[in-house]
């Protein structure tokens, strides 16, 4: 008398496949580190708040230079050290601006940098890179 093992084999294959998929998703989820914030507050005193922006999150020297250009033109932020060779750019703002608004404002400048980077012509980018070349080695 023959026994049909097909239903049991199908269940076993389904179970093994489910375990493999679950383990793969679990391993992948644990391997991904949480995204580092672009900007964080470092300290504050009676008059100012001090921040660091993570320049390593930009993909090119142009983006770093353009971000610095936007900050130089900004009325709320002051650059503490304009070197673009460092991983972090130190910024400050007056305490009159709340920490949340300052963080949002700096993040908004990052978004503008990335957006404009995709839209700006190569010739305009080259002009800006040349203008900020000296900040590579400060």
pLDDT tens profile 91-114? 999 999 999 999 999 999 999 999
List pLDDT tens digits, range 39-53. 999 999 999 999 999
The model scores a pTM over 0.85: no
Q: Where are the domains of the chain?
A: 39-136
Instruction: Phi first, then psi: give them for residue 62, nearest 5 degrees.
Output: -55, -45
């Amino acid at each position: 008398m023959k026994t049909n093992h097909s239903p049991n084999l199908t269940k076993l294959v389904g179970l093994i496949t489910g375990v493999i998929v679950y383990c793969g998703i679990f391993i992948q989820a644990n391997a991904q580190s949480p995204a580092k914030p672009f900007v964080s507050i470092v300290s504050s005193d009676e008059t100012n708040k001090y921040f660091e922006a993570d320049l390593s999150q930009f993909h090119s020297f142009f983006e770093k230079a353009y971000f610095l250009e936007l900050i130089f033109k900004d009325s709320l932020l002051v650059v503490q050290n304009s070197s673009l060779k460092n991983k972090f750019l130190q910024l400050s703002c007056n305490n009159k601006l709340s920490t949340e608004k300052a963080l949002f404002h700096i993040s908004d400048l990052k978004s503008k940098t990335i957006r404009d980077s995709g839209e700006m012509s190569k010739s305009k980018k080259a002009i800006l890179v040349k203008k900020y070349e000296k900040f590579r080695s400060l």
